[in-house]
Structure 1
Amino acid sequence: MKALTWQGKRSVRVDEVPDPRIQEPTDAVVRITSTAICGSDLHLYEVLGPYLAKGDVLGHEPMGIVEEVGPEVPNLSVGDRVVIPFQVACGRCFMCERGLQTQCETTQVREKGSGAALFGYTSLYGSVPGGQAEYLRVPHADYGPIKVGTELPDERYLFLSDVVPTAWQAVAYADVPAGGTLAVLGLGPVGQMSARIGRHLGFTVVGVDPVPERRAMAERHGVSTIDLTDASGADVAAQLRERTDGRGPDSVVDAVGMEAHGAPEGAVAKAAQSAVGLLPDKVAQKVMETGGIDRLGALRAAISSVRRGGTVSLSGVYGGEADPLPLMTMFDKQIQLRMGQCNVRRWLDDVLPLVEDPADPLGVMDLTTHRLPLSEAPGAYEMFQKKEDGCVKVVLEP
């Protein structure tokens, strides 16, 4: 089959790789009909190469048609249409029973000290082949896949794999009070959806991003915006306070993560990320696991912006173990800080009715800006990273 494989920093290509097959009785094989590029994939493209090997198959936002099922998968049949959550979880362990599927004790990558295995996402998370491919082997298919209908187009359902539940969790973790104000830093796919969910739940929402097309998309959904290019992180906080009676928003979602731009330490962190990329993998892994390599502009802006007693919710991915945080400010302001990979199935009952609603209240049909064949994935990665051609979300068709 054809699949998108990692070849090195800023280098991916479509290769012929072996077809997946049933290996365990709870496996399924799914023919992929749509698969998206996630902002987290850009971390693999740029920063997290030390945890990848040439030929690793990328992608963790797929959906498709069941082609084969193992003998212990009673919930699926050949021909079913399914969305695949990005984590691999068993549904039965201590963590899964508590709605913490990304901490699944059955698939935890203990040798790396990591949580549940993820599709297409480095040796830190199990080196499980990903879904930017024609076919995908799905472990624990007796629990993971989400069976959906056949009447609606793929875009209605595809983002259940990651974007919509991740944004829902980000807003839930933000703990916005009734009638409160939510700021969303970063208006990529998760930021877009977080802002829309905030509006859907009745909050006042302000989005911050440097890219005009992203701000315009958010504004179409009733979100007021701030142009990050007109302000430093400190000025963003000042502008947010001006809009909130001088206090700052009740809650802030950081939907940016490790590659944030604009902070004073950003150039240093960017240099550190570049330097790590030049080291042998084993050495680079050690540096990443013991050093502060993240660009913390968005996180520092979130901490500075949020009102005293407010909540900061992190949905952007961070990778450094020793990043310096302004703990004195966090303590003084009594800030709550919540974070983590999304527990997709925990939020399914909340989000599935919304994506199936004919009114499309979250605007899932207004998120994809580029639909391309899998063969054009290398160029799509470059376009998405450089934010060219108004690119917000790319969906690939194998």
Structure 2
Amino acid sequence: MKAAVWHGKRDVRIDEVPDPAVKEPTDAVIRVTSSGLCGSDLHLYEVLAPFMTPGDILGHEPLGVVEETGAEVTSLRPGDRVVVPFQIACGRCWMCRNGLQTQCETTAVREQGSGAALFGYTKLYGSVPGAQAEYLRVPQAQYGPLKVPADVPDDRYLYLSDVLPTAWQAVEYAAVPPGGSVAVLGLGPIGDMACRIALHRGAGKVFGIDLVPERLARVMARGAEALDLTQHDDIAQTVRDRTDGRGPDAVIDAVGMEAHGGGGASVGKMMQALPGLLPDRIAEKLAGKAGVDRLTALYLAIDMVRRGGTVSLSGVYGGMADPMPMLRLFDKQIQLRMGQANVHRWVPDILPLLGDGDPLGVDDFATHHMPLAEAPEAYRMFQHKEAAKIVLKP
């Protein structure tokens, strides 16, 4: 089969690789019909290269059709249409039963000290072959895949794999009071969808902050107040001025480790780049013990949020030695919540919104649909912010 394969920093190629097969009784194999390109994939393209191995298959946002199942997968049969969550969880352990599927005790990558295995996402999360491919082996298929109707376009349910539950959890963790205010930093797919969900769930003021005009226009069209980062000398003060001088009740950081900015961001960028200049084994060890993120977005969130407010992190961070402004956090009495989204935990809340009314605008959420063969160009476009959301079609 053909798949999008990592060969090095900013080097994604379409390779011919072996077809996947059922190996365990809890496996399934699906034929992928759509596979999203995620902001997290760009971290592999650039910053997390020390944890990648040439030949790794990328991608973790698939929807497709079941081709084959193992003996213990009794809820699926060939021909079923399914969306597959980005994390691999068993559904039976204590963590899964308590809605923490990203901490699944069955698939946890203990040798790396990590939580549940993820599709297509570095050795930190199990080096599981990913979903930007013609076919995908799905471990723990007795629980993970979600059956979806066969008679609607892929995009209606595709985002249940990652975008919708990640944005939903970001808003849930933000704990915006009814009629309250929230600022969303970064308007890539997750930030964009978080704005939509916050408005749908009754936030009174939603500020979408970015520096890409097309992204700002998207959230403004859905009812958010769009703020161009480049047009304000002190964006935190601008938001405070629009929230009775206090700051928003919550800030969602949907940027993560690759934030733009000056000063500390430049130092962080240098520290992120350093492992990539070293031999692989040394680079992995350094990044795993002394990695430092570009923390501009997180620092901005801490500065902007009102005292007693909440900062919700959905943007991915990977540093093991990040300097945190503990005095500021403690003095402002800030609540901080974060983590990979627990997909199954939020599906019951999201599914009713995927009916004919489409209140979150999933049907036209993607700006580009591209053949899998064009994945290298898709990565380039996405990194250069020439596309808001790309769906690959094997």
Pairwise TM-score range, normalised by the shorter structure = over 0.9
1:384 corresponds in structure 2 to 382
* Letter of the structure 1 residue corresponding to residue 251 of structure 2: V
Q: Which residue of 2 aligns with 1:102?
A: 102
| Contact persistence 2:195–2:206 (CA under 8 A) | yes
How far did 1:292 drift? 4.4
Q: Provide the secondary structure at the position in 1 that maps to 2:195.
A: helix
2:371 matched to which residue of 1?
373
CA shift at 1:271, angstroms?
Answer: 1.4
For the residues of structure 2 that align with 1:229 and 1:237, how far apart are their CA atoms?
13
SS at match of 1:365: coil
Task: Tell me how far apart the structure 2 counterparts of residues 151 and 354 of structure 1 sit (CA, whole Å).
Answer: 17
3-state SS of paired residue (1:105): coil
* Residue 260 in structure 1 maps to residue 259 in structure 2: yes
State how 1:281-320 maps to structure 2 within 5 Å: 281-320=280-319
How does the TM-score come out when normalised to structure 2?
0.99
Q: Is the 8 Å Cα contact of residues 272 and 291 (structure 2) preserved in structure 1?
A: no
Aligned residue pair count = 393
Deviations 1:93-120 (A, max 9, x none): 0100000000000000000000000000
Aligned mates of 2:185, 2:330 — CA distance in 1: 22
Contact 2:370 2:390 (8 Å CA) reproduced? yes
Letter in 1 for 2:367: T
Match of 1:364 among 344, 362, 385: 362
Note the C-alpha offset of 1:366.
2.9
Cα deviations by residue, 1:163-193 (Å, 9 ceiling, x for unpaired): 0000000000001111100110000000000
C-alpha displacement of 1:290 = 2.3
Tell me how far apart the structure 1 counterparts of residues 385 and 330 of structure 2 sit (CA, whole Å): 36
Distance 1:248 1:24 in 2: 52
Aligned mates of 2:329, 2:316 — CA distance in 1 = 20
The residue correspondences of 1:187-226 to structure 2 (distance < 5 A) are 187-203=187-203, 204-226=205-227
Distance 1:92 1:210 in 2: 43
In structure 1, what is the equivalent of residue 231 of structure 2? 230
The unaligned stretches of length 5 or more in structure 2 are none
C-alpha separation between the residues in 2 aligned to 1:340 and 1:231? 30
Tell me the distance in 2 between the aligned counterparts of 1:340 and 1:243: 29
Mapped partners of 2:92, 2:262: distance in 1: 43
Aligned to 2:156: 156
**Matched residue SS, 2:363:** helix
Equivalent position amino acid for 1:392 in 2: A
CA contact (8 A) 1:99 1:346 kept: yes
Partner SS for 2:258: coil
* 1:150 alignment partner AA: A
Q: Structure 1 residue 202: deviation in Å?
A: 1.1
Percent pairwise identity:
65
Paired with 1:39 and 1:366, the residues of 2 have a C-alpha distance of 18
Contact 2:170-2:312 within 8 A present in 1 as well:
yes
Mapped partners of 2:238, 2:290: distance in 1: 32
Query: Paired residue for 2:392?
Result: 396
* CA drift at 1:291: 2.0
Structure-1 separation of matches of 2:7 and 2:382: 18
SS in structure 2 of the partner of residue 36 of structure 1 = strand
Any runs of at least 4 consecutive aligned residues in structure 1 with deviations exceeding 4 A, and if so which?
none
User: What letter matches 2:392 in structure 1?
Assistant: L
Q: Secondary structure at the match of 2:150?
A: coil
Give the 5 Å matches for 1:36-47.
Answer: 36-47=36-47
Contact preservation (8 Å) 2:187, 2:254:
yes
CA distance in structure 1 between the aligned counterparts of 2:213 and 2:26, rounded to whole angstroms:
46
2:14 counterpart residue number: 14
Q: Give the Cα–Cα distance (whole angstroms) in 2 for the partners of residues 297 and 325 of structure 1.
A: 11
Match of 1:362, as an amino acid? Answer: L
Whether the 8 Å CA contact 1:34–1:158 is kept in 2: the answer is yes
8 Å CA contact 1:263, 1:295 repeated in 2: no
**Does structure 2 conserve the Cα–Cα contact (< 8 Å) formed by 1:292 and 1:324?**
no
Quick one: distance in 2 between partners of 1:11 and 1:143? 34
CA distance in 1 between partners of 2:346 and 2:164 (Å): 9
The separation in 2 between residues aligned to 1:264 and 1:236, in whole angstroms, is 16
Per-residue CA deviations over 1:16-43 (Å, capped at 9, x if unaligned) read: 0000000000100000000010000000
- Listed one character per residue, the Cα deviations across residues 337-383 of structure 1 (whole Å, up to 9, x for unaligned) are 0000000000000011112x211101112320110000000011011
Distance in 2 between residues matched to 1:225 and 1:123, nearest whole Å: 38
TM-align CA RMSD: 0.8
Taking the aligned partners of 1:300 and 1:373, their CA distance within structure 2 comes to 38
The residue identity in structure 1 corresponding to 2:384 is K
